[in-house]
Structure 1
Amino acid sequence: MNKTIVLNSRPVGKPQLSDFKLVEEEMPVVKESEVLLKTKFVSVDPYLRGRMSDAKSYVPPFELQKAMSSGVLAEVTESQNEKFKKGDFVSGMLNWKEFQTSKGENLLKIDDQTAPLSNYLGVLGMTGLTAYFGLTEIGKPQKGETIVVSGAAGAVGSIVGQIGKILGCRVIGIAGTDEKVEMLKSKFGFDEAINYKTTTDMTKAIAEVCPDGVDVYFDNVGGTISDSVHANINRMGRIIVCGAISAYNDTSVPQGPRVEHFLIRKSALMQGFIVGNYAEKFPEGMKHLSQWLSEGKLTYSETIVEGFENIPQAFMDLFEGKNEGKMIVKI
């Protein structure tokens, strides 16, 4: 039998284990032009929370009692598709199933000799590309400018900070534990980092570590942390809105300071994005990320949880900050 994880119910607030269900089904049979895929690694990401709600967004919501999906790296175990052979590794947006068939559309063949397989769900996958394009296309950092990154110890944030340093900027990270703060500085090369959970006045703390103000803010969290960064933004500053994990589990529309006044006063740019906006430029991004990784200018952190049945718990752990860098489940 084949195992799959389906959306059992739509969560109210934080997802619970009861919102997921592990079910067994018949093993899929490969048809003409198809491949049989065996899941090796599954990416869990905060944005999946939005798809668990029945709300209009840039991607359709998950259907109840249907398999959930995310970035998956899989091995081809059987092929009737001339583009793939047995033993190939591929990545793509696939279902949370141990085995599944595919016609090969939107599958990217992976070279397992170049880098560890899990990298293609992280630093060399959508995570790295999100960091690269958000920072370079919207932030447009210039040498000597100051970049602030929230959720800096997470998968995207840790890469954003390193790219900022490669481009000659001063980089400040915001994270939720002293251990993560230290990691940002010692492992990822951030100039300074702030533990928002032990800081009573974030606006003042940011001002102290950014005496020349903030030129670029890469926002992964939203909420009151972002309010404090906004208060320190420079004239012609750029605010990149990548995520809002602080509000993903809210059951009502969050209220906060209005942004119009400071955007006007500082002539600042504030833009949201999804990485798919830059799909045509993915080869360019991969080229830079791969080169920096091979040159030792870029490093990464992964939190790897083992076991197919642990995918839901790994996903929920994201909202408790239990990951360092990319959260991946190894099957």
Structure 2
Amino acid sequence: MASLKPVTSLLLQSFLILTLILHNANGDQNCLKVGFYEESCPQAEAITRNIVNEVLAIAPSLSGPLLRMFFHDCFVRGCDASVLLDSPTKDAEKDALPNLTLRGYQIFDKIKNAIEQTCPGVVSCADIIALAARDAVAAMGGPSWEVETGRRDGIISTANEALANLPPASLNINQLKLIFQQKGLTVRDLVLLSAAHTIGISHCSSITNRLYNFTGNNDDSSDPSLDSEYMARLKMKCQKDNMNMIVEMDPGSFRTFDEHYYDLVAKRRGLFQTDAALLDDPETKAYVDTHRGGDDLSRQEFFIDFGVSMVNMGRIGVLTGNLGEVRKICSKVNSLPLTP
């Protein structure tokens, strides 16, 4: 399937590799590094990439969920694959309300099984999530970047922590900036990682408050920051008695990783309140304005910047060295309990 080949130019790849090398020169305090498995499991990245490409060739709609899984993992207890753990009492991260719409768990199981057959007990599920996110973006026409690896898997996963750490789609710009700052991320990372909404879909239930009863007074008020024409189309799709319908996060371009997301945000057609919030801060708005309707050079700059921010997010709260474990099965800890 030709559309699954990364479209990043050789020049862009060179710039990206150089940028990340320079960026990582003084950022290896967490013992992560590019090529961590070069000797212990040199096939790990190729196995992950091949399976992601095979899956997306059949089901391209899974690209968004594979990318989303990385965000939902890293923002809760750090990038430790705790989002993949099952709980017999249904009290793990995946059972929390914000995670009930996550998809693609079986893809990570498939990748893990394939890697275990080649290099048993070596590659963590946390690293597989990070690699799969990169490969999903590249498969949808977006950039590729060097992924730092060396993470180990966590053994604790609770629904309450997911509720406390995953930012809801209704936050304003100040709340978003604070949450990202608490995770060690910058305002620039915020606006770049928000562009992940250029691929994938969401459910109408995620935007109910923008379309109906926005004031909370049990009326038909709508979010005034939403473009009226776009709001009318959303209301036709998301009627009050049917919030299970799905909507494209980047209409007309939801299967292509590109800058079209910023065009929509600038036109007040971002699906979530957190998208609209990017216009309420001078720094985030400036980035949106710079890259809306951009040329090839602008796109290359965006691709490079996005890769750097993904690397930054991949460093949140990582377990390395003797901390954590390398799970044999991504949904189960090797021996210890899931909760404290």
Q: Tell whether the structures are fold-level matches, with TM greater than 0.5.
A: no
More strand by share: 1
Higher relative contact order (CA 8 A, sep 6+): 2
TM-score with structure 2 setting the length: 0.26
Q: TM-score, normalised by structure 1?
A: 0.27
